[in-house]
Chains A and B, each alone.
Chain A
């Protein structure tokens, strides 16, 4: 190459480097989270969906991930650290091809041995790296996994306990931490918590428990389209809704999760943007199906569903809800085509109640468990009062049993037959319904009747059970989608829950925040965001 060529080459390289660094110099995003602490940083996060959103899919990757690129369609699964996977003819042994050339933030290579090490971290309490805190978060997410083996650096097999086609969804929960980093930090998870190492698009740079965490871009991230544009993302726990709103409006943060509905008009009036989108979350009454429960009568269940004027509930939530048409949001890929429409129809509801033997002179008395607050519960007190008034229109008199959120979770785990539930025939619970298990299977599987699982209402139905089994044994994705749709159709046609509304994951942000695409998912991609200074 001539001197001129070399000179031009050097100039172009230098210009590219300058432009590259300028392109990345896109400001600092300060986020006010609803969590009261920074989520667990060692790999498997705590703090529910928010923990996975901000400390999970930012610092770490899983073998299979959620597609967070589009706001217009429900998220599906995409390759993550595994590029392809298939199940053997026995329907038990899965083979995963791992992504080549991926490195952890500490520089060590990601291999199949690392995946085995991470599974042991969660499942093998005799292993040196077993971490009870991460295990508490991760073990229950992969119930299908029986064993796992590294075949070579880039090939892994996982054997399931029984045929289970939902394994890819289960694996989307499991995040990979670095073995080399753990070893370098004296095999001490507490030290790892301060300087964790994943393969994700963000690196944790600084961490003050309960106060802040600073994430910076991982410029060597394996997916060039997901290398963060920002210089930093600072996470700040702000559990009190008014404190979050004030922090945003006074310019101390640029983004807050879950603004209170009554603060939204003031924010919008001051130029702040409200982002929201449908996502797999619902707000329901889970009904008891124990003997003697009034909800065993399908006419009562349908009447109650048709008594709720969901459109009129919208102003209560500042318009930030999707009226329920079923258990899953109408935009879900698994919604199907149910024949029962639970939309508001007071006359039809009254007719059904009359058919069931109830009317102005013969009211039905029901007892409902509700909480005054709680994660994902939206505005439980006014919303439940709205439902109570709506049901009174069709001669259903509701007596509330109000318990604090932590105790509510215990009563949900205990199930409708537990003494502590005190005869309540429903529980108002909001559900994470993102995958087949959390979305459909766990609520009605007869093998998961509480307290062994989360079938709170003790529901049993052979037809439903067959569908739930079929979900697990249908390995073709398109065919599995059809089964999931059929299952949801049964959910709706049998009016198995009181379908009320779906949250839309509102978040408020400064007009300086650009480039955010709110996926129809609990997790989000922060890499595309920039700050317009």
Chain B
């Protein structure tokens, strides 16, 4: 297990290097100019050239990449062109907020998705199964930014029960676990949870249905085991695959919430990424994508390790 873990950790390095090259090149390919964010639109060509040189944007791309990666290795992610603030502070502050949102959505989605999936798998081909299937297909299909807007109209605008935007009265820096702040989390977390509810429910339904049809289940019943104990065995068997799906979903929740964070003005990595894209803020864009990609790699690693830990059949050497 330890060897496996070390090998996987070493493999992260070339993956990270590949990710850094891809994200550096991707943001360079996009048309546009980062100077647009920091200069008046009618600044003269001479002034633009001077500013381009000041930010090192006049250097050849390989040189720019070498400088960036060199600084990165030393822990310096550079400064945002648009704001002048250190990229590391901007990205990690935003990722922290996104993590808060993603974990909240996961706390809502994973138990509900698992419960619905089990119900559907256990009562396969009954009305319960059909109802759960309908719910999960709807969850996966409904555009979540649209759902977010609808929830805002109902619960914020019409009923005035919950706030429609932001991370609390004092902003994310003043976050605390009281209702005054947590109420800001409810609508975005619920909206973000809808897709993973559908995906987890569909996965668990398929797993539970398959396992319940296996011979060992009949053997367990034949031994006189209670229905609850049998289901515990089924859950254990389904856990490894379900966990891997949940792990990937958590990665998607963290990196894939651009629209939700925009609709709810949530100060997370998606919101940061969206602004960086529109402003062509290359250092910020590269830093955010890199951190999110590495988070995804880390999630995969954790899921693999946890899978191996809970299911001895998954032997990795």
Which residues of A line the B interface, CB within 8 A? 36-37, 40, 46, 48, 132-133, 136-137, 139-141, 143, 190, 193, 208-212, 236-240, 242-243, 246-247, 249-252, 403-407, 409-410, 412-413, 438, 442, 451-454
Contact B47 A139 (CB under 8 A): yes
B2 in contact (CB, < 8 A): no
Kindly report which residue of chain B lies nearest to residue A266, judged by CB atoms.
B157
**A243 in contact with B165 (CB, 8 Å):** yes
Q: Which residues of the other chain, A, contact B156 by a CB distance below 8 angstroms? A: 246, 249-250, 252
Q: Specify the chain A residue showing the minimal Cβ separation from B263.
A: A243
Residues of A within 8 A of B157 (CB): 246, 249-250
**Size of interface on B: residues with Cβ below 8 Å to A:** 49
Q: Is the CB of B262 within 8 A of A240?
A: yes
Known contacts A243-B165, A410-B31: does B173 contact A208 (CB below 8 Å)?
yes
**Cβ-defined contact, A236 with B39, below 8 A:** no
**Which residues of the partner chain B approach A239 to less than 8 Å between Cβ atoms?**
262, 275
B36 to A410, Cβ gap below 8 A?
yes
Contact of B41 among A208, A407, A413 (CB under 8 A): A413
Assess the A209–B85 pair: CB atoms within 8 A.
yes
Mark each residue of chain B from 140 to 175: 1 if its CB lies under 8 Å from any CB of chain A, else 0.
Answer: 000000000100110011001001111100111100
Q: Beyond the given A46-B38, A247-B265, A438-B42, could you list 18 further A-B residue pairs with CB under 8 A, ordered by the A residue number?
A: A40-B83, A136-B35, A137-B40, A140-B44, A236-B166, A236-B265, A238-B165, A238-B265, A240-B262, A243-B262, A243-B265, A250-B163, A252-B163, A406-B31, A406-B32, A410-B32, A413-B48, A452-B45
Alpha-carbon gap, A48 to B82, bound state (A): 13
Indicate if B114 sits at the interface (CB-CB under 8 A). Answer: no
Contact A410-B33, Cβ < 8 Å, known A133-B38, A240-B263, A243-B262: yes
A190 to B89 CA separation, bound complex (whole angstroms): 13
Question: How many inter-chain residue pairs (CB < 8 Å) link A and B?
Answer: 134
Do A240 and B265 touch across chains, with their CB atoms under 8 A apart? yes
Interface residues of B in 69-89 (CB under 8 A from A): 82-85
Docked-complex contact B40 and A140, CB < 8 angstroms = yes
19 A-B pairs with C-beta separation under 8 A: A36-B278, A36-B279, A37-B275, A46-B38, A136-B38, A136-B47, A136-B51, A211-B171, A211-B173, A237-B265, A238-B265, A242-B149, A242-B152, A249-B156, A404-B31, A407-B31, A410-B33, A452-B44, A454-B42
- Contacting pair A140 B42 (CB below 8 A): yes
CB–CB A453/B44 < 8 A? yes
Contact (A140, B51) CB under 8 Å given A209-B83, A238-B165, A250-B157: no
Chain B residues with CB under 8 Å of A404's CB are 31-32
How far is the CB of B171 from the nearest CB of chain A, in Å?
4
Report which of A36, A190, A211 forms a contact with B275, defined as CB distance below 8 A: A36
B83-100 interface mask toward A, CB cutoff 8 Å, 1 = contact, 0 = none?
111000010000000000
Name the distance in Å between A187's Cβ and chain B's nearest Cβ.
Answer: 16
Q: Which residue of A lies closest to B94 (CB)?
A: A210
Assembly CA distance A363 to B45 (angstroms): 38
Chain A nearest CB, measured from B241 CB (Å):
38
Residues of B within 8 A of A242 (CB): 149, 152, 263
Residue B139 interfacial (CB < 8 Å): no
Give the residues in chain A near B209, CB-CB below 8 Å: none
Chain A CB within 10 A, most for which of B36, B54, B166, B265? B265
* In contact, A211 and B39 (Cβ under 8 angstroms): no
Report Cα–Cα, A251/B164, bound state, in Å: 9
User: A451: which B residues are within 8 A, CB to CB?
Assistant: 45
Q: Report the separation of the CA atoms of residues A288 and B69 in the bound assembly, to the nearest whole angstrom.
A: 43
A140:B43 contact, CB within 8 angstroms: yes
Task: Tell me the chain B residues, 32-69 only, with Cβ under 8 Å from chain A.
Answer: 32-33, 35-45, 47-48, 51, 54
- Cα–Cα distance between A2 and B208 once the two chains are bound (Å): 95
Residue in B closest to A242 when the chains form the complex, CB atoms: B149
Report B-chain residues with C-beta under 8 Å of the C-beta of A136: 35, 38-39, 43, 47, 51
B267 at the interface (CB under 8 A from A): yes
Collect the chain A residues with CB atoms within 8 Å of residue B44's CB: 140, 143, 452-453
Q: Which residues of B contact A210 (CB under 8 A)?
A: 267, 271-272, 275
B202 within 8 A of A: no
A406's partner among B36, B170, B272 (CB-CB below 8 A) is B36
Q: Does B264 touch A at the CB level, under 8 Å?
A: yes
Does B181 lie at the interface of the complex (its beta carbon under 8 Å from any beta carbon of A)?
A: no
CB distance from A420 to the nearest CB of B (A): 8
Give the docked Cα–Cα distance between A136 and B163 (Å): 38
Q: Please, which residues of chain A bring their CB within 8 A of the CB of B35?
A: 136
Closest chain A residue, CB of each to CB of B82: A37
Which A residues are in CB contact (< 8 Å) with B205?
A: none
In the assembled complex, the Cα of A137 lies from the Cα of B278 at a distance in Å of 19
